[in-house]
Amino acid sequence: MAEIVMPRLTDSMEEGVILSWLKQDGDEVAVGDELVEIETDKASMVYESDLAGTLEILVGEGETRPIGEPIANVGGGAPADGGSSGRTSPGVPDEPPSTDTSETGETTPAKLESEEDTSDDKRVKASPLARRIAADKGVDLSGISGSGPGGRIIKVDVESASPGEKASEKAVEGGKGSPEIVELSRTQQLIARRMAESKATIPHFYLRTVIDMDRAVEVRAAFKQNAAEGESVPSLNDFVVKAAAIALRKHPRANAAFRDERFELYPNINVGIAVAAEGALIVPVVTAADEKTLAEIGAESRRLAERVRSGEITPPELSGGTFTVSNLGMFGVTGFDAVINPGQAGILSIGEVARRPVVTDEGIGSAHLMEATLACDHRILYGADGAEFLATFKANLEEPGLLA
């Protein structure tokens, strides 16, 4: 039998979660068949089989495995001794564990009953996934009748049960009322973990500037006036992406990362654009942004945003980012501090473009102003480095002729 291992679906992926198997244990699979849905650090992806034969599932739904670890075998059939790939679990005799596919939507490698059902207070017969769901929902397994083989409690049994009252819930009922518990999706869990990792391991500091966007607004108006009917016009965020890309070319330490006590300076300038999806924030990447025109950046940004919202985004479109731009100006936000994506040196937070009063040599006037905040990884970008990058970025936008 040949192994299928946890694939590397994005450049920053270190482990993946098996969301669902699209084939059942024992099914015949062909090269190119959609095999398994995997959640990475960026999004959920469907992995297609690069092998043909009979499928033997090794890792169940909901399980996490590092890159390169086997998740399934594919071959012409199990060997005569019933083994799969010569691997045995520590402390378990040569007899390999069987694979349990008794639950709808759940495929988990079964443990020996002595391991799973009779250890300490876990004498209730239940699958590992059912136990995890029960713990999350606060469900007492001893009060559930299992519908699996031999009365085993499976996922569907727990999901249909009413959650028990947890002590923490009781404690807040008096003052706050009984809370509604909302479970995080796998993507939300990954985002939470990555952002917590970033704030815990990356020493952030922030630099702010206010940019006069009058000329950028004028140039965009000229684009719009000269555009053919139905032709797309670059948005002000496309101006921001282009201005950032040119600044990254001039300040290579901003287009880099701190890894293993050294700097990694990236030769390509690939700008990630944060896109709000349903219940998550996804960052597709505009590759070679410094080499693209404003019109090309605009077209690519719209295409990527549409693919994120439709759920059609692919691993290559989410990979290779060297810097990120996050814009909340469309929501009326004047400014904010974003969290750096691990593996990058900084992230730009962009606020709304709004006409505000300004003091000039002629007196009080008005201008289209925009606040920009640069979050820096202090291990690679020092104060002067970040300030110089931000000054170049500002100059690029205040004179858009520099964006050519």
Reported as a pLDDT band with limits 50, 70 and 90, residue 257 is very high
Contact between 320 and 270 under an 8 Å Cβ cutoff? The reply is yes
| 330, 223: one domain | yes
Task: Encode pLDDT of 52-63 as tens digits.
Answer: 999 999 999 989
| 150, 265: one domain | no
Is 9 part of any domain? yes
Reported as a pLDDT band with limits 50, 70 and 90, residue 162 is low
Is 225 part of any domain? yes
Q: Is the pLDDT of residue 168 over 60?
A: no
- Of residues 387 and 9, more confidence is placed in 387
Domain harbouring 39, CATH code = 2.40.50.100
Name the one residue in this structure whose structure tokens are 């593996």.
343
Reported as a pLDDT band with limits 50, 70 and 90, residue 179 is confident
What amino acid positions are annotated as catalytic residues? 378
**Tally of domains in the chain:** 2
Nearest to 379 by CA among 356, 345, 340: 345
| 154, 207: one domain | no
The pLDDT, as a whole number, for residue 336 is 97
Domain harbouring 296, CATH code = 3.30.559.10
Enumerate the β-bridge partners of residue 45. 38
| 133, 235: one domain | no
| 118, 219: one domain | no
The pLDDT, as a whole number, for residue 163 is 65
- Of residues 313 and 351, more confidence is placed in 351
| 384, 268: one domain | yes
The pLDDT, as a whole number, for residue 247 is 97
| 234, 134: one domain | no
- Of residues 86 and 170, more confidence is placed in 170
Q: Is the pLDDT of residue 91 over 60?
A: no
| 258, 337: one domain | yes
Reported as a pLDDT band with limits 50, 70 and 90, residue 15 is confident
Reported as a pLDDT band with limits 50, 70 and 90, residue 120 is very low
Residues spanned by the domain of 262: 201-403
Contact between 397 and 239 under an 8 Å Cβ cutoff? The reply is yes
- Of residues 131 and 51, more confidence is placed in 51
Neighbour order of strands in the sheet with 285-286: 204-212, 363-377, 346-360, 323-327, 271-273, 285-286
From 108, 137, 159, the end of a domain falls on 159
Is 185 part of any domain? no
Nearest to 57 by CA among 38, 35, 86, 79: 35
Is 255 part of any domain? yes
Is 18 part of any domain? yes
Residue range 67-86: average pLDDT? 64
From 159, 193, 222, the end of a domain falls on 159
| 232, 154: one domain | no
Nearest to 158 by CA among 124, 114, 186: 124
| 133, 264: one domain | no
Q: What is the largest CA-CA distance in the chain?
A: 92
Is 171 part of any domain? no
| 15, 139: one domain | yes
What percentage of the chain exceeds 70 in pLDDT?
Answer: 82
From 159, 174, 192, the end of a domain falls on 159
Task: Encode pLDDT of 261-301 as tens digits.
Answer: 999 999 999 999 999 887 788 999 999 999 999 999 999 99
Is 397 part of any domain? yes
- The angle, 0 to 180 degrees and rounded to 10, between the axes of the packed helices 236-250 and 383-398 is 130
Q: Is the pLDDT of residue 99 over 80?
A: no
| 253, 337: one domain | yes
- What is the value of pTM for the model shown? 0.66
The encoded tokens of residue 69 equal: 């670890």
The pLDDT, as a whole number, for residue 297 is 96
Q: What stretch of H or E contains 398?
A: helix 383-398
The pLDDT, as a whole number, for residue 314 is 86
Q: Distance (Å, rounded) from C-alpha 189 to C-alpha 183?
A: 9
Is 320 part of any domain? yes
